[in-house]
Homo-oligomer: A and B are copies of this chain.
Amino acid sequence: MPNEPAHELRLTIMRLARQLRSQKAEGDITDGQRSVLFSLEDAGAQSLSALSARERVTPPSMNRTVGALVALGLVTRETASDDARRVTIGITDDGIRFVRETRRRRDEWFSSRLSTLTPEERAILAKAAPILKGLADK
């Protein structure tokens, strides 16, 4: 692939992602809060320090984010059973519902766009998808 198409494809990817990101979830939480919630739903309960490392944020900052999510009832904060210094952050049923609803909305929006394509175009995207995934995994 020559360089100019690479440039176009890159811009297109950034633009599509921007549009997808702007499809807000209902409860309107911040980006950081949403990221933590997705992380917890995806990787399970974690200690505060593990979570802050994963999200590349300092522990005090993560503490605040977690506090906000606890206040919203989307996350739990409990002292670990084996080490009383440690705290385990988990996602609540409401949190899980929130994550799934957000995913559903984003998928729905994207699917509705895809549905405007011709079968041939969709077939090309179906072939391109795993290649793009490979790029992201590198």
Contact = CB atoms under 8 A, between A and B. Distances in A.
Interface in A80-138: 103, 106-107, 110-111, 113-114, 116-117, 121-129, 131-136, 138
Interface residues of A, number: 43
Interface string A3-25: 10111111011111111110000
Contact of A13 (B16, B131, B134): B16
A1 interface: yes
Contact of A1 (B9, B122, B138): B122
Q: How many copies of the chain does the oligomer comprise?
A: 2
A129 B121 CA distance: 11
B124 A128 contact: yes
Nearest to A135: B113
B14 A21 contact: yes
Interface of A: 1, 3, 5-10, 12-21, 103, 106-107, 110-111, 113-114, 116-117, 121-129, 131-136, 138
